[in-house]
Amino acid sequence: MKTSIAREDLARIAQAIAPEAKTLEGKTILISGGSGFLGNYFIGAFKELNKTLLKNPCRVISIDNFITGSRTALDEKDPQIKHIEADITKPLNIDEPVDYIIHAAGLASPFYYKKYPLETIETTIAGAKNLLDLARKKNAKSFLLFSSSEIYGDPDPRFVPIPETYKGHVSSIGPRACYDESKRLAETICMVHHQLYGIPVKIVRPFNIYGPGMKPDDYRVFPTFITRGLLGNSLPVHGSGVQTRAFCYIADAITGFLKVLLSDKNGEIYNVGNDSEELGMEALANLMVEEIGNGAVVQLIEYPDSYPADEPQRRCPDITKIRAQLGYKPTVNLREGIKRSIAWYKEAFPERFDVKK
Ligand SMILES: NC(=O)c1ccc[n+]([C@@H]2O[C@H](COP(=O)([O-])OP(=O)(O)OC[C@H]3O[C@@H](n4cnc5c(N)ncnc54)[C@H](O)[C@@H]3O)[C@@H](O)[C@H]2O)c1
C-alpha cells in the first residue's frame, strides 16, 4: 500500500466511509485472508481511518496461511495491526476481544481454485464455521461473509443484470463447482447461524473487483492483461472473447463492503459491483491495449488446461438493493480504473516493467 495510487484510493475510501466508520473507535476487527487482494486494501483502509478519523484507533487481526497471499505482511510495523500465520480451517484460539469479523480467505482466482479444489472448499466452509463459532463466543457486532457473483453460475440472460433474488444456474459437479458450490453452502451456513443464534451476519457477492494490489501472478484477467501488455506481449483472450463481465474498481468495492459490514442489516445479502459497463473480454483487452499504448496486441486463444472450463457467458450485477438501502454508488469508470491499474503496476514494480524513473 506504499504507492501514490493506493494512497489516493485509501484516502478516498476513508472519506466515503467516514460517517459509518466512527463506530470503529477502539474496536477490534478480525479478517481472514488479510494478505490477499481485498484483505490488503481493507487493512490499508483501517490504517487510514486510524490516521484521519478515529481518536481511539481500531485494531486489526489478520489471519492468513499465505497459500496465495504474500508473506511480506509479516514485516508489518503498525502496532494496531497483528498478522497471524495460520490456516482458518483449523480451530481458532483468539484471547482478545473481537468486535467485527470478515471472512475473506479463499482461492479467488480460477487458476488457483482449479489447482487447489479441496483447499478452496475447506477454506470457505470450515473457515466460515470456525469464524461463526468465534463470532458467537465473542458476541461480535457484525460478521461479513465474502461470497461471490459465481454463486449465480452461468445466468439465464433474462436475469442480467442479476438481482440478489436470482437463484442461480450452477453445476454441482462441474469444473467450477468447488468454488461456486462452497460459496453457496457458506451462505447457507451463515444464514442458519443468523437464524438459530442471532449472529449479525451479512453476505456480500462481489462482481469482478479489480485494481491496484492484484499480484502479477494472480492469473485473473486484469493482472494477466496488464502485466503481459506492459512487457509488449500479446493479451490472451479465452475462447470467442464475447463472454462479458462488469468490473468494479477496488476503492468503490471496499467502500461498499464497509458499508455492509458497518450496517445494521443483519441476515441480508448484497451484490457489490459496478453495473455501468458490461463488456466482452476482447473489448476489455482492446481498451487495455489502447491505454498501455506500446503496440501490444490482442490474441484469441483456446481455453488453457490450467483454467476451469464452463465459464459464465454473461455477468453484470443489479445493485439496486445496496444503492437504495446503504447509499452505495460506484464512482470510478472502467477507463479511469484501467489507467490507475496500469500506473500502479508501473509504480509498484519499476524494475520488472523497465520503467525509467
Ligand atoms: N476479488 C474479487 O473480484 C472477488 C470476487 C468474488 C468473490 N471474492 C471473494 O472475496 C474474498 C477475497 O478475494 P481476493 O480477491 O482478496 O482473493 P485473494 O486470493 O487475493 O486473497 C485470498 C487470501 O486468502 C488466503 N487464504 C486462502 N486460504 C486460506 C486459509 N485456509 N487460511 C488462511 N488464509 C487463507 C490467501 O493466502 C490469500 O491471501 C475471497 O473469499 C474471494 O472468493 C473476490
Q: Does residue 99 form part of some domain? A: yes
Give nearest CA residue, ligand 1 atom 6.
Answer: 148
User: Does a structural domain hold residue 290?
Assistant: no
Q: What CA–CA distances, in Å, run from 166 to 77, 245, 271?
A: 44, 17, 11
186 domain-assigned = yes
Model pLDDT, residue 357: 46
Q: Which domain holds residue 136?
A: 4-211+250-277+316-333
179 assigned to active site? yes
pLDDT band at 234; cut points 50, 70, 90 = very high
Tell me if 204 is assigned to some domain. yes
Q: Residue 221 pLDDT > 80, yes or no?
A: yes
Residue 342 has pLDDT above 90, yes or no: yes
Shortest-distance atom of ligand 1 to CA 109: 19
Residue 66 lies in a domain: yes
User: Which tens digit of pLDDT belongs to each residue from 146-202?
Assistant: 999 999 999 999 999 999 999 999 999 999 999 999 999 999 999 999 999 999 999
The verdict on residue 308 lying in a domain is no
**Could you tell me if residue 357 is inside a domain?**
no
Expressed in angstroms and rounded, the spacing between residue 150 Cα and the centre of ligand 1 is: 14
The catalytic position among 41, 100, 113, 179 is: 179
Q: How many domains does the chain have?
A: 1
For residue 236, pLDDT over 70 is answered with: yes
Mutate to test the pocket of ligand 1, among 31, 38, 183 (most ligand atoms within 8 A of CB): 38
The domain that holds 77 is classified in CATH as 3.40.50.720
- Ligand 1: which residues within 6 Å by Cβ? 32-33, 35-39, 63-69, 87-89, 104-109, 123, 127, 146, 148-149, 206, 208-209
If one counts every other C-beta atom within 10 angstroms of the C-beta of residue 173, the result is: 7
Residue 58 within any structural domain of the chain: yes
- Asked if 5 and 77 count as a contact pair (C-beta separation under 8 A), the reply is no
Average pLDDT over every residue of 206-226: 96
Q: How far apart are CA 17 and CA 19, in angstroms?
A: 6
Which atom belonging to ligand 1 lies closest to the Cα atom of 67? 37
pLDDT at 356: 56
Pocket test for ligand 1, best of 83, 146, 151 (most atoms within 8 A of CB): 146
| Residue whose CA is at the smallest distance from ligand 1 atom 28 | 106
Q: Is the pLDDT of residue 355 over 70?
A: no
Q: Tell me: the pLDDT tens digits for 250-281?
A: 999 999 999 999 999 999 999 999 999 999 99
Give 105 Cα–ligand 1 centroid separation in angstroms: 4
